[in-house]
Amino acid sequence: MVVSSQKAMVLWALLLGLLLVSPLANAELERVEHAAKADGSLSFLVVGDWGRKGLYNQSQVALQIGSIGEKREVDFIISTGDNFYDDGLRGVKDPAFHQSFSDIYTAPSLQKQWYIVLGNHDYRGNVEAQLSPMLRKMDTRWLCLGSFILIAGPQMAEIFFVDTTPFVSNYFIDPKDHVYNWKGISPRLHYINNLLLYLESGLRESTAKWKIVVGHHTIKSAGYHGNTHELAIHLLPILQAYHVDLYINGHDHCLQHISSTDSSIQFLTSGGGSKAWRGDVNNRWNPQEIKFYYDGQGFMSVEMTETDVDIKFYDVFGNAIQANFFCYVNVNCLGTL
């Protein structure tokens, strides 16, 4: 069944409006902590859309991630989802976990904690496997909790990991030939409403210098998938209201930086962990907003102190392909320098 996006959004609004009057369980997002370096700084890498058993240049990107990770002395790594193609993991004993993760990211600099969100391809498999403590026993680097808060520094940054796949209506109303595993999501609107309330509560209470939100799906993108309308409607207003500094995502297999004319949020895509080069860039974006777009494989690095954030993008050869851009506390990012 094909449903127009307009009708889907109307249905969404009606259901969400009804749900807002229903009682909610008392809960909050799980919190984990990660210490900063002795000088108070933090350094981490971001890669997404990678899990292809080393194919489509995944191994080559991993090699360069390890090299930059050593130079940057990274504290941890973030995955923006689509961790295992094409259909997630079959279970905790699926050899793809080792073939696409443990046996690929072997550099000494990458033997750090990995903080991971789920993507839409992960929902085509056994989602509970990626969330299972059993994977952490097999590889202690792996930490995937659905939606959670990483307290880094501890007061310098709070990074909010958001499970964005359940927001996207088409996965439910027009899944095409794909089968998604929604166990733990139903009732869907209740799951999403709770998530938004817990996220808003966490952002409201945050006293961190930097607030960062990580999800798989785009909010703003010039790539193949474009903007995710459900996130623009339901998630973006919360990010704006609580002055989030960065929204980091994957989903589009590219690297990009988009700013906003109506808020200080910087939208960063790091989805070049393996298969890329689609060649279908949307060139109709306002040049004041789109600062950088690279239709290829690569990853992103972030270095932060209490006063500034330094972000770089790298290609499959480890070359920096965008000059530094910086963000400063209480000041808009300066863009590409």
Query: What distance in Å separates the CA atoms of residue 96 and residue 73, rounded to the nearest whole number?
Result: 28
Residue 257 appears among annotated catalytic residues: no
Phi, psi of 172 (to 5 degrees): -100, -40
DSSP label at residue 336:
B
Structural tokens at position 24? 């909610």
How large is the greatest C-alpha to C-alpha distance in the chain, in angstroms? 56
Pairing of strands 290-294, 308-315: unpaired
Query: What distance in Å separates the CA atoms of residue 100 and residue 84, rounded to the nearest whole number?
Result: 7
DSSP label at residue 242:
T
Name residue 115's beta-bridge partners.
78, 143
49 is known to lie in a ligand binding site: yes
Catalytic residue among 34, 121, 217, 225: 225
Structural tokens at position 294? 């690279």
85 is known to lie in a ligand binding site: yes
Query: What distance in Å separates the CA atoms of residue 267 and residue 311, rounded to the nearest whole number?
Result: 12
Phi, psi of 47 (to 5 degrees): -140, 145
For 37-66, give one letter per residue: b (16+ CB within 10 A) or e: eeeebbbbbbbbbbbbbbebbbbebbbbbb
Helix axis angle, 5-19 relative to 188-205, nearest 10°? 70
251 is known to lie in a ligand binding site: yes
Query: What distance in Å separates the CA atoms of residue 262 and residue 239, rounded to the nearest whole number?
Result: 12
DSSP assignments along 4-40, one per residue: -HHHHHHHHHHHHHHHTTS---S---EEEEEE--TTS
CA distances from 79 to 22, 29, 197, 215, 273 (A): 34, 18, 24, 9, 9
Residue positions forming the annotated binding site for Fe cation: 49, 82, 85, 120, 216, 251, 253
Which residue numbers are catalytic?
225
Residue positions forming the annotated binding site: 49, 82, 85, 120, 216, 251, 253
